[in-house]
Structure 1
Amino acid sequence: MSVDLPLPAVESLPSLTFERTAPRDLVHRRAIGEVLLTDDWIRLGADRFKLGAQWPRGHGFYGPVGDRWHDPLLAAESIRQTSSLVSHVFYDLPRDHPTLMSELSISLSPAALRLDERPVDVEMTVECGDVTRQGSRLAAMTMEVGLVRDEIPLGRGRMSLNCMRRSVYERLRGSYAQVPDRLPEQPEPLPPHEVGRTVEADVVLGRPLDVRAGADPRRGAWPLRVNWAHPTLFDHPTDHVPGMLLLEAARQAAQCLAGPDPVLVASMTNRFHRYVEFDTPCLVRARLSGSRDGDQEVMVAAEQDGAVVYESTVTCHRALEPEDGPR
């Protein structure tokens, strides 16, 4: 089933300027070009905030889909960056405290994702619930996010996160808290066109190890590929596979099964059960589970060391004719 996140009502709230990007350390990015949030934000209530993001017409990784739509994963990355900024600015979380996702879901309007001749200024209204503290320190919360483009509802998102002291994180992670010296040998990538990409460096799925004649076209299984040199997915070193890489793996798996025409992610429900480590293989499995109104639903699960570490439900929108939308 697709995630049930109704579109937000358009509210008349204080305006944002979209003049400059937010400080990089507030969104845990090193490259200025990877910062999507802008540097003005407004408190609307005790746990309610308004922030801005700007989506470029052409991003080095989150580029246009089918030459028609902005990449929906820009919404997911905007929400991820929002969780960091809100935690640090409004809840005084120290910037060295790890913030870990347990859920990240988006539900978007394909018509409102349409490209035009300008970057997209996105207003995000954030409501934080289930806020948990240990003493005065933020420990966990869930954000409900409404996204609006030019006063047009764009979609909604939800993210749940947990925060901990660096010392606690290192104790729980043990030797895995350190970035390893090297990666194991990675599988050969799938051809980029099969996963909606143009260059091998952006492919996160490897060629299947067991290709059998007559395999079910509604199912697939691919080894996960990790490329530390990737400027977006590995903007900075990390000791485990980033959550956004897993979202990209789910999107590429959905493209494999629902393609070959470009598919647009209309919604994703992503749940992270365990850290995905670098030192052992991770297998991404996917199956088409049905279709409705021309859209197709793909169920994705990543497995490592015999356990499911990540699950995603992806609804793929396939529009064969131009749609109305922002111009």
Structure 2
Amino acid sequence: MTLPMELPSATSRDRLRFDATVSRALVHRASVAEVFITDSVAAATNGIGRRDAAFEVAAQLPRGHLIGEHAPAYDFLLIVEVLRQAGVFVAHQHLDVELDTAFIFKTLSYRVISLEAMRIGPRPGEAVISMEVNADRNRAGRVLGFEFTGTLSIDGVPALEGSGALTFVSKRAFGMLRAKGRERVETATPGSALVSRLARSAPATLGRRDPRNVVITEPTVAPSGAALARLVVDTGHPHLFDHKLDHVPGNLQLEGARQIAVAAVARLHGLYPEQLVITALKGDFTEFAELDLSTSVHAQVDGVRHAKDLGMLSVPVEVRMEQSGSVVSRVTVEVAQWA
């Protein structure tokens, strides 16, 4: 016998729905199972020309997911993906950005303000992203991109504050950008493209369990706090490569930064990698990372600081990704111990 499902008390449900996900096309995913956004509302609009606006975007957070590995808290990469989908959905649903437009994420940052809110409960989490959007428009009113700031709440409790910036370009313009990026491949040094047979690190070294989710080689960590690894690009990964891409996605680069940071902090401070979490993130993507060029992952562990908002110690780690001597992204994460 199947019992009726108990619905949560009416709070954010008064204005947002969580019972079905939006069209996968509106968040640029191929698999319906990889869609987390469920609804949105425009909260306010003001201004002339820029049409600044506020939105609330709803998402359901799964209790179990390939990238979450049944951890006690919602995974770093899941939160990154929810924020990405929220930005893409607002662009299409509320700002009239056409579906065949290419999206380029320039920056993404967030800071956890409640670790307890990130803990997985007895039912899927109901997330609400409250966003303020500052759109950049041309003279015809077409949106060229936007910056956003906001708060992500889980089951009514503010969990983190975030911000980011993305740019929209036509297919033709995107093709021109990619052609320029491919020039680096043609001038790359011999051997730099041997990326298909890299050996993954042991999952436990990085705080991971599933070998499929390991995205870097075994890192070397010096007593000075400098660490080095290479990015492992598995185009068959069902989450990171939900659909075919012609470049290394930003989510994969962020996960690589998380993994080398966790490994380095654990080794330098004698901690268990599985107990380390990311409490802050700042990512800047400066160039497209090519699939067929080797990507080196360089990290530098900083000194311990006190994260006042969380009441715990954290360790900043600066990471940069390089291909053929060019920096393709810079990521700073803060690592903290949370059992």
Q: Same fold (TM over 0.5)?
A: yes
Structure 2 counterpart of 1:132: 137
Deviates more, 1:71-80 or 1:101-110: 71-80
Structure 2 counterpart of 1:261: 273
1:250-302 per-position Cα deviation (integer Å, ceiling 9, x unaligned): 11011111223321111100110111111221100112111123211111111
Of 163, 168, 174, 2:168 maps to 163
1:64-122 per-position Cα deviation (integer Å, ceiling 9, x unaligned): 4xx43211332211110011111111111111111001101111121211122111101
Structure 1 counterpart of 2:294: 281
The answer to whether 1:101 aligns with 2:108 is no
Of 63, 67, 79, 2:69 maps to 63
The 1:130/1:94 distance shift into structure 2, 3 A limit, reads closer
- Give the whole-Å Cα distance in 2 for the aligned partners of 1:183 and 1:16: 48
1:206-243 per-position Cα deviation (integer Å, ceiling 9, x unaligned): 235xx6xx943622100111001100000000110001
CA drift at 1:139 = 0.8
- Give the whole-Å Cα distance in 1 for the aligned partners of 2:12 and 2:59: 18
Of 63, 74, 78, 1:74 maps to 78
Structure 2 counterpart of 1:252: 259
1:38-86 per-position Cα deviation (integer Å, ceiling 9, x unaligned): 1x2111122111110111111111334xx43211332211110011111
Larger Rg: 2
On the 8 A contact 1:187/1:207 being kept in 2, the answer is no
On the 8 A contact 1:221/1:285 being kept in 2, the answer is yes
CA drift at 1:304 = 1.2
| SS of equivalent residue, structure 1 residue 290 | coil
Where do residues 1-327 of structure 1 align in structure 2 (5 Å cutoff)?
15-38=15-38, 40-46=39-45, 47-64=53-70, 67-108=71-112, 109-133=114-138, 135-174=140-179, 184-207=195-218, 215-216=222-223, 218-259=225-266, 260-262=272-274, 263-293=276-306, 294-320=313-339
| SS of equivalent residue, structure 1 residue 228 | coil
1:152-211 per-position Cα deviation (integer Å, ceiling 9, x unaligned): 11111111001111011112222868xx9x984231111111112223221110235xx6
CA drift at 1:14 = 5.3
Moved over 6 A (4+): none
On the 8 A contact 2:67/2:239 being kept in 1, the answer is yes
Taking structure 1 as the reference length, the TM-score comes to 0.86
On the 8 A contact 1:79/1:159 being kept in 2, the answer is no
On the 8 A contact 1:57/1:63 being kept in 2, the answer is no
The 1:30/1:12 distance shift into structure 2, 3 A limit, reads closer
The 1:207/1:16 distance shift into structure 2, 3 A limit, reads same
- Give the whole-Å Cα distance in 2 for the aligned partners of 1:197 and 1:58: 15
| SS of equivalent residue, structure 2 residue 233 | coil
| SS of equivalent residue, structure 1 residue 171 | helix
Percent identity between the two aligned chains: 30
- Give the whole-Å Cα distance in 2 for the aligned partners of 1:159 and 1:13: 27
Taking structure 2 as the reference length, the TM-score comes to 0.83
The 1:14/1:129 distance shift into structure 2, 3 A limit, reads farther
After superposition, the CA RMSD in angstroms is 2.3
- Give the whole-Å Cα distance in 1 for the aligned partners of 2:303 and 2:15: 42
The 1:184/1:149 distance shift into structure 2, 3 A limit, reads closer
- Give the whole-Å Cα distance in 2 for the aligned partners of 1:13 and 1:44: 15
- Aligned AA (1:248): E
Structure 2 counterpart of 1:324: none
| SS of equivalent residue, structure 1 residue 125 | strand
- Give the whole-Å Cα distance in 2 for the aligned partners of 1:172 and 1:68: 41
| SS of equivalent residue, structure 1 residue 82 | helix
- Give the whole-Å Cα distance in 2 for the aligned partners of 1:183 and 1:229: 18
- Aligned AA (1:118): R
- Give the whole-Å Cα distance in 1 for the aligned partners of 2:235 and 2:77: 20
CA drift at 1:12 = 8.1
- Give the whole-Å Cα distance in 1 for the aligned partners of 2:137 and 2:118: 34
On the 8 A contact 1:183/1:278 being kept in 2, the answer is no
* Structure with higher RCO (Cα < 8 A, 6+ apart): 1
Greater fraction helix: 2
Structure 1 counterpart of 2:48: none
- Aligned AA (2:273): D
